[in-house]
Structure 1
Amino acid sequence: MPGFRDFNFKLLVIEKLMYEDRTLTPAFSIDELLRARGIRHTDVYVHENGLEFTVLDESRAYFEALEIGEELLATVDVLLVDGGNRVYYHCSPVWDGEDELFDVASLDDLDLLPNLRLVSGAQDCGIGVAFDEKLLAARGIASD
C-alpha cells in the first residue's frame, strides 16, 4: 500500500474518495464513534476537553492507519481544497478555518495520484499554500 507523507494532503484524497465519490468505505463518522463511547454531543465533548484547535486523536489514528490502494488512488482526478471539506469536520468538529490546522505543507504525495488533473480551490484559501501553480503545471495539473 502506498504511504502518504503529508497527513493534510491525505485528507484531501480521503475527502474525494470517501465523502464525494463514496468509493472508500465505510465512511468515517466522528459522531458515530463518539456515540459508541457514550458521548452524545460531539461539540460539547470537544469544548469540555479543550480540543477546539486540534485534530481529535480518534480521527487522526483512524485516518493515519487508513490504507488506500493504488487502484482507488488512480481514480482521483480532482482534489478540492476547501475549508468546508467534510473530512475536516470529522477531524476537528468545531474547526473555524481560521488557523493552519489543515494546511498542506508538501506536495511529495502527488506521485501517488497518477491521474490527478485539477486542484480546485487552492488559490482561494490558505490551506492550499503548498500548491504551487508552476509545479502543478509542470506535472500537467491545472489549478483554479
Structure 2
Amino acid sequence: MAEFHDFNFKLVVVDELMYRRKTLTPAFDLDERMQARGIDIPAVYVLENELDEDVLDESRAYFEALEISEELLAGVDSLCFDAGLEIYRHCAPAWDGEDGLFDVRSLDDLALLPGLKRVVAVDDGTLAAPGKWEILAARGISGR
C-alpha cells in the first residue's frame, strides 16, 4: 500500500476517491460516528470544546491509517484543491477555511498518482506548495 508523506495531500486524494467518485468505501461519516456517541451536531460540539482549529483525533487516526490501493491511486486523473472539499467537514466540522489547517505544502506524493493529468486549485484554496505550478508542469500535469 502507498505511504503518503503529506497528510493534507492524502486528504485531497481521499476526497476525490471517497466523496466524489465513491470508489473508496465505506465513506467515513463523522456525523454518524458522533451521533453514536450522543453528539447531535458535530460543529457545535467542536466549538463548545474549542476544537475548531484542529483536525479531530478520531478523524486524523482514521485517515492516517486508511490504506489506498495502488490501483485506485493509478485511476486518479484529476484533483481539486479547494477549501470547500467534503472531507474537511469530516475532519474539522467547524473549520471556516480561513487558515492553513489543510494547506498542502509538499507535492512529493505526486509520485503516488501516475495517472494524474490535471489539477484545479481555486483562489485561496489549499494548494500552498512552493513552486507548485513548475512542479506540476515538469510532470506533465496541467493546472489552473
* Structure-1 residue corresponding to 2:99: 99
Q: State how 1:3-82 maps to structure 2 within 5 Å.
A: 3-82=3-82
Q: Percent of pairs identical after alignment? A: 60
* Structure-2 residue corresponding to 1:113: 113
Counterpart of 1:75, as a letter, is: G
**Do the aligned partners of 2:82 and 2:125 also contact (CA within 8 Å) in 1?**
no
Q: Please report how far the alpha carbon of residue 126 of structure 1 lies from its aligned counterpart in structure 2 after TM superposition.
A: 4.4
1:45-66 deviation digits (Å, cap 9, x = unpaired): 1012110111000100000000
Matched length = 143
**Do the aligned partners of 2:120 and 2:143 also contact (CA within 8 Å) in 1?**
yes
* Structure-1 residue corresponding to 2:143: 143
Counterpart of 2:78, as a letter, is: V
**Do the aligned partners of 2:8 and 2:103 also contact (CA within 8 Å) in 1?**
yes
Counterpart of 1:65, as a letter, is: A
State the superposition RMSD in angstroms. Answer: 1.0
Counterpart of 1:109, as a letter, is: D
Runs (4+) off by over 2 Å = none
Give the alignment's TM-score, normalised by structure 1. 0.96
Is there any run of 5+ residues in structure 2 with no aligned partner, and where?
A: none
